[in-house]
Amino acid sequence: MREFDIEKYVRRLGRFHVEQRLNMQAHHAADIFGPGLVHIHIENMLWLHFFIKRLLQVCGVYGLGRRNTGRFVVTHNAVALPGLPAALEGLTLLQLTDFHADFSATAMSALIEAVRPLQWDACVWTGDYRGLTHGPWEPAAAELRRVRDALHGPVYAVLGNHDPLEMADALEDMDVRLLLNERAAFERGGARLWIAGVDDQHIFETDNLEKAVDGIPAGEPVVLLAHSPELYRKAAYGGIELMLSGHTHGGQLCLPGGWPILANARVPRRMTRGAWRFQQLQGYTSRGCGVSGVECRYSCPPEIVLHHLHRAPERL
């Protein structure tokens, strides 16, 4: 494993971004309390995860919850995107998110089997590759490589609140194009779709949407990757038409009917899973592929999403 080359990322991202990211990781990655009294990171309450696991074991439903983590559902989401060129009509994006890959090798194996029969043009990963928000990331990278090997075509990705910047080289070594407040163009038939990605907003606060979309010509279609849907207001008021997110796991431990007990995001409840809209922004919050905290899911199956893009009339 090669040393993390800070200066390489300073040249690529700017010193401010790299320093903020590394300092936030060093000081706040494992925080339970965020800024403000009502900002709590349940992903870092390890004692609570232990308590919930024991409670589920005592109630005799832990085994069921574990088996549920491998029962993937494929969702088809149709999106009408203004400005989409005719050459990109019907383009399909495969969205995978919240792998927490080292936490559940079983879920990763089930994911690999579930994507095998699917067809898509490009794949997007919306973050959370590691199980915890701190500690070694290499075991997660090893599991992710198995997933990457099962995917064809380009993969674009952002980091989540569980992922250190030091993981960037490992992702790019497996031919994943990481977008750290950056953008890339997917091209087909002489037309292009821009894929912009922001760094994590939820814990590290290193998102910079303005930088991510800088240089994209006006009128060209953009898909924004943001780990948490919490960016929705900035994205909508900045003119973004489509944002793909994860982070919430759809609640992961839900009541019958799919009602999340906790969703861990400062967004309206309707934005914590599935398709939603705010102003002109069309959003999708995936329930994700993996699990964190407790290796269980209830009334909230893991999800693979195929977004089918279609041309839409221009807004006036």
Per CB under 5 A, residues contacting Fe ion are 98, 128
Nearer to Fe ion, 98 or 200 (CB): 98
Min. distance of Cβ 143 from Fe ion in angstroms?
15
Shortest approach of Fe ion to residue 109 CB, angstroms? 19
Q: Which is nearer to Fe ion, 98 or 169 (CB)?
A: 98
Q: How far is the CB of 264 from Fe ion (least distance, A)?
A: 8
Q: Which is nearer to Fe ion, 128 or 169 (CB)?
A: 128
What's the closest the beta carbon of residue 159 comes to Fe ion, in angstroms? Answer: 12
Cβ proximity to Fe ion: between 125 and 278 the closer is: 125
What single string gives the DSSP state of each residue in the chain?
A: -PPP-HHHHHHHH-HHHHHHHHHHHHHHTT-SB-SSTT-B-GGG-HHHHHHHHHHHHHTT-HHHHHHHTT--EEEEEEEEEET--GGGTT-EEEEE----TTT-HHHHHHHHHHHTT---SEEEE-S--SSSSSS--HHHHHHHHHHHHT--S-EEE---TT--GGGHHHHHHTTEEE-SSEEEEEEETTEEEEEEE----SSS----HHHHHTTPPTTS-EEEE-SSGGGHHHHHHTT--EEEE-SSGGGSBEETTTEES---SSS-GGGSSEEEEETTEEEEE---SS--SSS--BS---EEEEEEEEEEPPP-
Of the pair 128, 182, the CB lying nearest Fe ion is at 128
Nearest approach, Cβ of residue 245 and Fe ion (Å): 11
Q: Which is nearer to Fe ion, 160 or 221 (CB)?
A: 160
CB of 186 to Fe ion, least distance (A): 25
